[in-house]
């Protein structure tokens, strides 16, 4: 595993655990802007901003859906697939 890959996994873990903690405490979900950009780029590629716009999702909502914290609405998953999402293998 490269250092970049290792650090990306740590960013992903911190972001999704933060989302989980916010949910458990009944607080608004959030991640840092840097984590949002990094993970959106990881999942959607360099054109992540326009892809998120096409999905009509903010980065935190997309991260929550892409990591299984929320379900995609009908048609959203197909739109995400069409945008070339790199689905993660999470276990």
Span 39-84, pLDDT tens digits: 999 999 999 999 999 999 999 999 999 999 999 988 898 998 888 8
Which residues lie below 8 Å from residue 89, measured CB to CB, with a gap of 6+?
none
Q: pLDDT at position 86, please? A: 83
Residue 31 pLDDT more than 70? yes
Residue 8 pLDDT more than 70? yes
Which residues lie below 8 Å from residue 26, measured CB to CB, with a gap of 6+?
none
What does pTM read for this prediction?
0.87
28-31 contacts at long range (C-beta below 8 A, 24 or more positions apart) = 29/60, 29/61, 29/64, 30/60, 31/59, 31/60, 31/63
The residue count for the chain: 91
Q: pLDDT at position 87, please? A: 85
Q: pLDDT at position 84, please? A: 84
| CB 11, CB 35: distance < 8 Å | yes
């Amino acid at each position: 595993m490269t250092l970049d890959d290792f650090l990306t996994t740590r960013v992903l873990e911190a972001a999704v655990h933060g989302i989980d903690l916010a949910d458990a405490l009944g607080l608004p979900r959030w991640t840092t802007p840097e984590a949002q950009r990094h993970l959106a780029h990881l999942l959607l590629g360099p054109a992540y901003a326009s892809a998120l716009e096409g999905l009509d999702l903010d980065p935190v909502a997309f991260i929550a859906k892409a990591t299984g914290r929320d379900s995609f609405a009908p048609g959203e998953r197909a739109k995400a697939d069409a945008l070339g999402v790199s689905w993660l293998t999470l276990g």
